């Protein structure tokens, strides 16, 4: 699903250190504690499909709720990267 749809935004809400240790390809990083301040600038399309993930699922759930509260309409809590069975990239 992710590879076939370039309209999907994969959002990593972990810390920068966690992101740099490995993340889903093409994911963008906005740490959970910065979502409310940065989302509207970095994610201007409130109708875009956004898949939110973290390490275990706790932060992604909170971030998804915050994004919905900001008016984003297609936000999905993708859970934790610890359950991701596919390749991750390091930068």
**Confidence (pTM):** 0.91
pLDDT one-digit tens code per residue, 28-45: 999 999 999 999 999 999
Token pair for residue 9? Answer: 């935004």
Confirm whether 54 is a catalytic residue.
yes
Candidates 54, 67, 75, 81; catalytic one: 54
Q: Indicate whether 3 pLDDT > 60.
A: no
Determine the average pLDDT of the residues in 12-20.
97
* Residue 1: predicted pLDDT: 40
In the chain the domains, ranked by start, together with CATH numbers, are 8-83 (3.40.250.10)
d(CA 75, CA 67): 7
């Amino acid at each position: 699903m992710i590879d076939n749809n370039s309209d999907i935004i994969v959002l990593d809400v972990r810390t920068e250190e966690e992101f740099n240790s490995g993340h889903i390809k093409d994911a963008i990083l906005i740490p959970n504690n910065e979502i409310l301040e940065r989302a509207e600038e970095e994610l201007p399309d409130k109708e875009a499909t956004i898949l939110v993930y973290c390490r275990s699922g706790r932060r992604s759930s909170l971030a998804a709720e915050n994004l919905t509260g900001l008016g984003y309409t297609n936000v999905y809590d993708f859970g934790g990267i610890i359950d991701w069975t596919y390749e991750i990239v390091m930068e």
